[in-house]
Structure 1
Amino acid sequence: MTKNIMVVDDAFFMRKVLKEILKKGGYEVVAQVDNGVKGVQTYKEFFGDENKKIDLVLMDITMPEMDGITALKKIMEFDRNAKVVMCTALNMQDKVVLSAKMGAKDFIVKPFNAQIVLEKVNNCFK
Structure 2
Amino acid sequence: MDKKILIVDDAMFMRSVIRKTLSEMGYQHIFEAQDGEEALLSFREHQPDLIILDITMPGKSGIEVLEEIHDENPQLKVVMCSAIGQEMMIQKALEAGAVDFIVKPFKKEEFCRVIDYHLV
For the criterion TM > 0.5, the same-fold answer is yes
| Identical-pair percentage | 35
Q: Is the 8 A contact 1:22 1:29 kept in 2?
A: no
Which ranges of structure 2 fall in alignment gaps of 5 or more residues? none
**Equivalents in 2 of 1:92, 1:45: separation in Å?**
32
AA of the residue aligned to 1:121? I
Deviations along 1:77-99, one digit per CA (max 9) or x if unpaired, are 01011110001225432111011
AA of the residue aligned to 1:73? E
> Shift of residue 29 of structure 1?
4.4
Q: Is the 8 A contact 2:19 2:30 kept in 1?
A: no
AA of the residue aligned to 1:55? D
**Equivalents in 2 of 1:80, 1:28: separation in Å?**
24
> Shift of residue 3 of structure 1?
1.3
> Shift of residue 125 of structure 1?
2.4
Instruction: Go from structure 1 to structure 2 and tell me whether the alpha carbon gap of 1:28 and 1:42 turns closer, same or farther (over 3 Å shift).
Output: same
AA of the residue aligned to 2:33? V
**Equivalents in 2 of 1:91, 1:79: separation in Å?**
26
Structure 2 residue aligned with 1:66: 60
AA of the residue aligned to 2:21? I
Deviations along 1:60-80, one digit per CA (max 9) or x if unpaired, are 000001110000000000101
AA of the residue aligned to 2:7? V
Q: Is the 8 A contact 1:7 1:59 kept in 2?
A: yes
TM-score where L is the length of structure 1:
0.89
> Shift of residue 36 of structure 1?
1.1
Structure 1 residue aligned with 2:103: 109
Deviations along 1:22-73, one digit per CA (max 9) or x if unpaired, are 11111124311111111111101123xxxxxx11000000000111000000
Structure 1 residue aligned with 2:12: 12
Corresponding pairs, count: 120
**Equivalents in 2 of 1:100, 1:71: separation in Å?**
13
1:32-111 residue pairs with structure 2 within 5 A? 32-47=32-47, 54-111=48-105
TM-score where L is the length of structure 2:
0.93
